[in-house]
Structure 1
Amino acid sequence: MQKSIERVQTGVRLEKRLLKVLKGLAEHLDISLGDLIEGMALHAFENKPPFSDETLDKIRQLKSVYDLDLSAVDSHKLRDETDAGA
């Protein structure tokens, strides 16, 4: 059964290479970037893995293509270059 929802437009700042990987993955899965992010968040909220092994392989490929060397360990250590003087 489908659920009716209300979506809102938002402006979110993301690391440049991470965004490229997410866009590439959304394109590969033939879904919108918003649908991908919603699905990842809903899975994370229930501590469920959002991706199959095949999709994880595609993510690894995309990370290589876009030189994304960040991991979950880095998530709380990121600092925007534009904030360097602050």
Structure 2
Amino acid sequence: MERIQTGVRMDASLVKVLKGLAEYHEMSLGDLLEGICLHAFEGKSAFGAETRAVIEKLRDVYGCRWTSADSHLHPEPSRKRK
């Protein structure tokens, strides 16, 4: 597997939740995101009930109230190609 560094922009409160969750599971943020994506690609949930409870606590701590319904409401501005 070849890994690359990315420059992904995300909502700050969401990133804080993800970092907290990665720390809870004693893994890197990159490993957590890879796992979430791979599960999603297969139509599977990446989290069980215990982890979802931890996520809800982290969301409360960091004020992250985004839901899947909000996922396309604030897209990054398009870059014009030269």
Please, what TM-score do these two structures have when normalized by structure 1? 0.85
Between the aligned partners of 1:77 and 1:59, the Cα distance in structure 2 is 22
Between the aligned partners of 1:46 and 1:54, the Cα distance in structure 2 is 21
Residue in structure 1 matched with residue 26 of structure 2 by the alignment = 30
Which of 36, 40, 59 aligns to 2:36? It is 40
Which of 7, 12, 15 aligns to 1:11? It is 7
Segment drifting more, 70-79 vs 15-24: 70-79
Structure 1 segments (4+ residues) deviating >4 Å = none
- What percentage of aligned pairs have identical amino acids? 51
Between the aligned partners of 1:68 and 1:11, the Cα distance in structure 2 is 21
Q: Aligned AA for 2:56?
A: R
Between the aligned partners of 1:51 and 1:66, the Cα distance in structure 2 is 19
**How many residues get paired?**
77
Q: CA deviation at 1:79?
A: 5.0
Q: Runs of 5+ in structure 2 lacking a partner?
A: 78-82
Q: Residues 18-76 of structure 1, C-alpha deviation per residue, up to 9 Å, x if partnerless?
A: 00000000000000000000000000000000001000000000000001111000001
Q: CA deviation at 1:78?
A: 1.8
Q: Aligned AA for 2:71?
A: S
Please, what TM-score do these two structures have when normalized by structure 2? 0.89
